[in-house]
Amino acid sequence: MSIADLLGNGGDAAWARDLHRRASEDFESFWDSSRGTYIDHIVDDEPQLPASQLAGALAIVSGLAPSVRWCRIVEWIGDPQRQAVRSWIGGHGGYDIAKILDQVRGIQTIDWDAASQTVVAQPFAAFLVHDAYVKAGRPDLLLTSLRRWSSFLRDGYDTFGECWGWGTPAHGWSATPTRDLVQAVLGVTPATPGFSTARIAPAYGAATRFAGSVPTPAGPLTVEVGTEHVTVATPVPAIVTLPDGSERRIPAGTSTCPAGGPSS
């Protein structure tokens, strides 16, 4: 829709909006009000119990779930106590031939408590869960999820794996933690094409102090967030979002803004 709007293609934009509206109406069948999340599937018009992280996350990032439900969804999918790690074709010992053969035959055995647990998204899809956390305003859950990736940093490996506990290393989704720490936690994104202007919206309160440097075409942009101030050294003009949601425009160079709320 957004691309069609930017190109002035009103016909395609209207078609996409209508399709999204109708999908939203039908998607209501997947809402589980008792648990506060969306289920994975429906069989013969009967809602089924499994409700994975991805089901809830995709409902948020797609815009199919109304925003009033986001808080309940992320509470369900982000609770470490209810998370189960499963795959249809592997496990902590590697590829599981029995599971693979079952998958080929269309057999998928639910070996977790589908009523009270949610299946964790594997690394290649975890970015969608992280996007849902950010959209719902829960960077704390994002950081909790990112810490799971530290399990890969052992035995000489310095890259992230295909799945939790098994599979091969060195895939494109190895960039997920870096992307999220830069864009969602440090909060640095281009405000205009080519980074001629930067946008800086740190996840205030995510940690007592955090800092980082982000490469831009004009040079590195450094952000340091503390309990009272955020210090920005930028080679281009930037728009800084403050804790109260207001914005401050700063020139290229080094600037300090309050990080402790309106009273700072």
Domain ranges within the chain, ordered by starting residue = 33-185, 188-264
Fold topology of 188-264: Maltose phosphorylase, domain 3 (2.60.420)
Pairing of strands 238-241, 198-200: parallel
CA 131/CA 143 separation, integer angstroms: 12
For the segment 85-140, what is each residue's pLDDT rounded down to a tens digit? 998 888 877 888 888 898 899 888 899 999 999 999 999 899 999 999 999 999 89
**Other CB atoms closer than 10 Å to residue 230's CB: what's the count?**
25
pLDDT at 122: 92
Three-state DSSP at 67 gives helix
Instruction: Reply yes or no on whether the pLDDT at 262 is more than 50.
Output: no
For the segment 138-160, what is each residue's pLDDT rounded down to a tens digit? 989 999 999 988 888 776 666 77
For the segment 66-84, what is each residue's pLDDT rounded down to a tens digit? 999 999 999 999 999 999 9
Bridge partners, 247 (sequence order): 241
Pairing of strands 219-225, 229-234: antiparallel
Q: State the DSSP code for 29.
A: G
CATH of domain 33-185: 1.50.10.10
Q: The whole model's pTM is what?
A: 0.86
